[in-house]
């Protein structure tokens, strides 16, 4: 009999009673920071909706292109909220390829994502320029205070706030309703002039029938069995998250359409029948100076 594969010991505070959004996403991306409960759930999702893996990879490549593009535009500070489990092509790695003086603070509320972030930064990070903190996006003032307290972000200089594939995770407030818009309004106030806001978010609007059916099934599974429910929004609702920030070119598009020329040389090409099969609507806005 082959020995059963042993599982890594989870960091303290990890809930292994339900699949976690962060760990299942890590499984889609081919990572190792996931446990049997996450893999079983992820496999069931993939069986019903095989496109989900490429959707996750295309989203990740969007993140990489945003970081490359903004670093080239002169941004030297990133606040990556809902950063997830670090995997190849994390924000600091991509930024360092363009400008090795870039500073990055990662934030997540999932202990596995934070623990893996710490391990990675211990190995290859620069404590003067990189940090990971455990905080919740629903508390903008507390999160901002903690991020600035790392000493890594200068609150008087422009910051690129990344909210990549996190706002379609339902964010219940004290009254049980989603409080993403309220939190976003506060982040837009807190960000210094000249800052950027990058958002990617699932929508069901204008997508073909096959991914539409897949998304409906995926939402049912997350809503009933995972650590967090899902919330899909219209394109107008996602665009509204930028408030009065001005969208930079090319505006809001499907993830593969955002600055494809910024794709790194080692990126595995992801192809979809149409860009809308990527189901994630994405863009970057800038606060006036
Ligand atoms: C789908 S993953 C996206 C990871 C990464 N941003 C990317 O696009 O590759 C969503 C992440 O958001 C995190 N998250 C969800 N709600 C959060 C909250 N309220 N505060 C902080 N992180 C949160 C989850 O733990 C997970 O790591």
Q: Show me where the domains of the chain are located.
A: 21-259+266-286
Strand partners, 178: 172
Tell me the pLDDT tens digit for each residue of 187-237. Answer: 999 999 999 999 999 999 999 999 999 999 999 999 999 989 999 999 999
Statement: residue 40 has pLDDT above 90: yes
Q: Alpha-carbon Rg of the chain, whole angstroms?
A: 18
Tell me the pLDDT tens digit for each residue of 122-156. Answer: 999 999 999 999 999 999 999 999 999 999 999 99
CA distance 208 to 245: 30
**CATH code for 21-259+266-286?**
3.40.50.150
Ligand 1 atom showing the smallest separation from residue 20 Cα: 25
**Which residues lie closer than 8 Å to 211 by C-beta, 6 or more apart?**
49, 51, 55, 276, 277, 279
Is residue 198 within 8 A of residue 169, CB to CB? The reply is no
Ligand 1 atom showing the smallest separation from residue 113 Cα: 27
The whole-number pLDDT of residue 153 equals: 98
The whole-number pLDDT of residue 216 equals: 97
Q: How far is the CA of 137 from the centre of ligand 1 (A)?
A: 9
Tell me the pLDDT tens digit for each residue of 176-189. Answer: 999 999 999 999 99
> Per-residue pLDDT averaged across 71-96, rounded?
95
Statement: residue 5 has pLDDT above 60: no
What are the tokens at 195?
């800052």
| pLDDT-derived band at 10, boundaries 50, 70, 90 | confident
- Kindly report the average pLDDT of the chain as a whole number: 95
Q: How far is the CA of 147 from the centre of ligand 1 (A)?
A: 16
CA distance 268 to 96: 20
Statement: residue 2 has pLDDT above 80: no
Statement: residue 60 has pLDDT above 70: yes
Tell me the pLDDT tens digit for each residue of 266-289. Answer: 888 899 999 999 999 999 999 999
The whole-number pLDDT of residue 109 equals: 96
Q: How far is the CA of 180 from the centre of ligand 1 (A)?
A: 13
The whole-number pLDDT of residue 9 equals: 77
CA distance 116 to 272: 31
Pick the residue whose CA is nearest to atom 14 on ligand 1: 82
The whole-number pLDDT of residue 86 equals: 87
Tell me the pLDDT tens digit for each residue of 250-266. Answer: 999 999 999 999 998 88
The whole-number pLDDT of residue 3 equals: 44
Ligand 1 atom showing the smallest separation from residue 171 Cα: 19
Could you tell me what percent of the chain has a pLDDT over 70? 98
Record the pTM.
Answer: 0.96
CA neighbor of 119 nearest in space, from 203, 42, 11: 11
Long-range interactions of 245-251: CB distance < 8 A, separation 24+? 245/188, 245/197, 245/285, 245/286, 245/287, 246/285, 246/286, 246/288, 247/283, 247/284, 247/285, 248/196, 248/284, 248/285, 248/286, 251/283
The whole-number pLDDT of residue 36 equals: 95
Residues with CB under 6 A from ligand 1: 21-22, 25, 59-60, 63, 81-84, 107-110, 113, 136-138, 164-166, 169, 171
């Amino acid at each position: 009999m082959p020995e059963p594969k042993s599982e890594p010991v989870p960091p303290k505070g990890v809930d292994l009673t339900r699949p976690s959004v962060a760990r299942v996403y890590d499984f889609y991306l081919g990572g190792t920071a996931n446990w049997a409960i996450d893999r079983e759930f992820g496999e069931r999702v993939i069986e019903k909706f095989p496109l989900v893996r490429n959707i996750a990879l295309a989203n990740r490549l969007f993140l990489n292109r945003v970081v490359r593009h903004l670093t080239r535009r002169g941004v030297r500070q990133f606040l990556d909220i809902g950063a997830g489990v670090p995997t190849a092509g994390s924000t600091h790695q991509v930024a360092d390829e363009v400008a090795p003086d870039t500073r990055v603070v990662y934030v997540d509320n999932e202990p596995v994502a934070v623990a893996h972030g710490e391990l990675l930064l211990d190995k290859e990070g620069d404590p003067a320029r990189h940090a990971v903190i455990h905080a919740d996006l629903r508390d903008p003032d507390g999160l901002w205070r903690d991020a600035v307290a790392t000493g890594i972000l200068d609150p008087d200089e422009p910051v690129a706030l990344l909210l990549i594939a996190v706002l379609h995770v339902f964010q219940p407030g004290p009254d049980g309703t989603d409080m993403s818009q309220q939190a976003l309004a506060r982040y837009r106030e807190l960000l210094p002039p000249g800052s950027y806001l990058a958002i990617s978010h699932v929508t069901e609007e204008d997508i073909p029938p096959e991914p539409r059916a897949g998304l409906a099934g995926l939402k049912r599974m997350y809503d009933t069995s995972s650590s967090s429910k899902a919330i899909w929004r219209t394109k107008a609702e996602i665009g509204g998250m930028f408030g009065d920030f001005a969208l930079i070119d090319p505006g809001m598009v499907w993830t593969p359409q955002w600055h494809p020329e910024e794709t790194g040389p080692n990126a595995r090409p992801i192809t979809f029948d149409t860009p809308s099969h990527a189901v994630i609507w994405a863009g970057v806005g800038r606060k006036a100076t």
